[in-house]
Amino acid sequence: MKARRLGVLVGAALVALVGTGCGLNKDKPVKVSGTITLDGKPVSGAAIQFLREGGGGPPAHGQSKEDGSFVLTTYNEGDGALIGDYKVLVTWEEPPPPTFRSGEEKGPSRDEVQRALEAHRAKMKKMNTVSIPAIYNDLNKTPLRQRVPPQGKVEIHLASTLK
């Protein structure tokens, strides 16, 4: 009798583990981070979107840092992406120059504006403005695919010329 009860408990535990994906909840994001490169060089400021294959479910998105690293967000900052298969889209646009509010009693001085514009130009020069081929931002043509949860860090390698 005890052996039978033990067998029922073990069976129920196995069903629970398999049913939940060994503890993975399909409705909760899984942490996803990685790097993005273009022709082997890190891409800074790239917008990365993970869109569920076959539609359905919210997308995940991230922005690459200076070293090409990124972290995905679905609901809350850095929470990751939901379990599943994704098409990946990548775009890069030059950030706009700094803006200054007008109508303030005392606006920025001419020197402050000049320093801000020079800092912006220096940042753009350091970012090595990139030209990401349009195919990487076309939902029907992107060759980029990713499964979540990933097997380790996500590495997105882009090429300026596709073969």
- Which of 28-32, 83-87, 95-99 has the least mean pLDDT? 95-99
Number of compact structural domains in the chain: 1
Choose among 54, 92, 49, 38: nearest CA to 72: 49
Residue 17 lies in a domain: no
Mean pLDDT of the chain: 80
**How many whole angstroms from its chain centre is CA 162?**
22
- pLDDT (mean) for 43-64: 93
Residue bearing the bigger pLDDT, 1 or 117: 117
Range of the domain at 45: 27-98+107-158
Contact in structure between 66 and 128 (CB atoms under 8 Å): no
CATH (domain of 45): 2.60.40
Q: Where are the beta strands (DSSP E) in the chain?
A: 33-38, 41-42, 46-52, 60-63, 69-71, 84-92, 145-148, 154-158
- Which of 3-12, 25-34, 63-72, 83-92 has the least mean pLDDT? 3-12
Contact in structure between 66 and 15 (CB atoms under 8 Å): no
